Amino acid sequence: MKMHTFSIQTALAVVFAAVLTRADVVTDWNNAALDAIRAGKTPPPIASRALAILHSSIYDAVNGITRTHEAYFVPSSVPASASREAAASAAAHKALVALFPSAASSFDQLNASILLGIQDSPHKSAGVAWGESVADQILARRAHDGSSATVSQPSSSGPGSWVPTPPANAAYLLPHWGFVTPFATTDHLQFRPPGPPALNSAKYAADCNEVKALGRAVGSTRTADQSQIALFWADGAGTETPPGHWNSIAQEVGAAHGNTLEQNARLFALMNIAMADAAICAWDAKYTFNFWRPVTAIRNSNLDGNAATDPDRA
């Protein structure tokens, strides 16, 4: 990725300009969801779950009419003459109002605007009823998936253990998320990675020293490109988060390829289901190994028992 001549803002402007020229019902609702995620400062795992529910609802609503691919969860029981656009919008509206009730008025306005552009007919009415039914069924399926569970904050101590990090020094984020029911994978154990290297290993020393060399504020070895890339992918609170960032990229890809409504419905469903499960697997690994963050490791290298690392408290 080369970004010598373009700022991050310029790059994003180009992306969004390309998206806006080829918007459809799927991307209209995707943008509405991303706006809600930004406004609510939604944590990434919760954002990924919401996007998966939204887009699996849209996909099953559209695919139930076109019947071109396998259903995700809701089998088709609607006439093929029903309006795909009406079904997609009704499903999205129903899902997002349930997921982000504080933004319901903006969702109501978007749904009304989309449906106003579709000629009143039995096909439109059938599409709306079908879309709402699909979203209701998917919301019911996820109602008891463990995403609202409460668990005790994990506790650990000693070298290698996670501790709150500056500047916020916040507690563990969503420690229960590794136990949320996946959307497609078998369970949260299916893709658990190997644990981190031993603190006294050469691998650990090499990794720690590389991060320290690249990440330091003064005297870093990172290039200008690497700094720009890090800023581009920062995706902190108040942004669309990493899952939302990939949705923005998918909008650009779909626009560049001239995707149809059906293609976008499937693209966004597959991607967001995969990301929701990736978040579950990531959180499983995060709290299984409970490994300290780089800032903790670098500042406390005198405690890791590895002669090849040195602390840097700057």
pLDDT at 41: 97
DSSP bridge pairs for 161: 291
Q: What is the mean pLDDT of the chain?
A: 93
> How many Å apart are CA 26 and CA 230, to the nearest integer?
29
pLDDT at 55: 99
Give CB contacts under 8 A, 24+ apart, made by 273-276.
273/52, 273/55, 273/56, 273/72, 273/183, 273/184, 274/184, 275/48, 275/51, 275/52, 275/243, 275/246, 276/48, 276/49, 276/51, 276/52, 276/182, 276/183, 276/243
- Three-state DSSP at 1 gives coil
Q: Is residue 205 part of a domain?
A: no
Mean pLDDT calculated for residue range 86-113: 99
Q: Is residue 37 part of a domain?
A: yes
Torsion-angle region of residue 189: left (phi > 0), alpha (psi -120 to 50) or beta? alpha
Query: Structurally, how many domains does the chain consist of?
Result: 1
Give the domain extent around 282. 8-146+171-196+238-293
- Per-residue CA distances from 76 to 66, 71, 89, 119 (Å): 9, 8, 17, 23
Q: Is residue 223 part of a domain?
A: no
Domain of 242, CATH number, reads 1.10.606.20
pLDDT at 279: 98
pLDDT digits (tens, 9 = 90+) for 60-86: 999 999 999 999 999 999 999 999 999
Q: Is residue 255 part of a domain?
A: yes
- Are 48 and 257 in contact, with CB atoms under 8 Å apart? no
pLDDT at 20: 43
- What is the pTM for the complete model shown? 0.91
pLDDT at 188: 86
Least confident of 16-20, 225-229, 251-255: 16-20
> How many Å apart are CA 130 and CA 182, to the nearest integer?
25
Q: How many residues does the chain have?
A: 314
Burial of 300 (0-12, 13-18, 19+ CB in 10 A): middle
Q: Is residue 204 part of a domain?
A: no
Q: Is residue 133 part of a domain?
A: yes
pLDDT digits (tens, 9 = 90+) for 129-159: 999 999 999 999 999 999 999 988 888 889 9
Q: Is residue 221 part of a domain?
A: no
Q: Is residue 229 part of a domain?
A: no
